[in-house]
Amino acid sequence: RGIRCINDSKGTNVGASETAVRSVVTAGRLVLLAGGESKGADLTQWAQTVKQHCDQVYVYGRDRDRFQVALGDQATVVDTLDDAFDQALGGASAGDVILFSPACASFDQFDNYQKRGDHFIQLVEAHREV
C-alpha cells in the first residue's frame, strides 16, 4: 500500500524516541506508536518534539495515560501494541510512515525490547499485501 513501517523498538527512553522522530523524512504523514513503562521519565521535551513532527500518535501500555496527558488531543489511547498498529494502519495512506519508537521499557507487555520488536515485525508482515 506504499506505507513505510519503521521498527525502533530499541527506543526504550524518551531521548532515543525523540531522536527517531526527528530523523524520519516523509512526504506523507508521520504516525508514532509509543508506550509501555516510562520509568517516570519527564515527557515534556519529548512531547514538544512529537507534537511538532508527528501527525498522529497512538499510545498504549501501562503508562498510556501519562502520554495522553503530555500529548493532549494528538494522542489516541489504546490498550496494546496490536491495537495501536491496527488503528495506525487503518488510517494510513500511501506515502505515510508508521514509526514504532516506544520511548519506554517493554516489561508491561513483553519480556524485552527484542521480543517487542519481533512482535511489531510480525504485525507488519501479517498485514503486508503480497
Query: Tens digit of pLDDT for each residue in 29-58?
Result: 999 999 988 888 899 999 999 999 999 999
Q: How far apart are CA 51 and CA 121, in angstroms?
A: 26
Write down the pLDDT at residue 130: 41
CA distance 13 to 35: 10
Q: Which domains does the chain have, with CATH numbers?
A: 4-127 (3.90.190.20)
Task: Return the C-alpha cell found at 4.
Answer: 513505510
Q: Each residue of 64-103: pLDDT tens digit?
A: 999 999 999 999 999 999 999 999 999 999 999 999 999 8
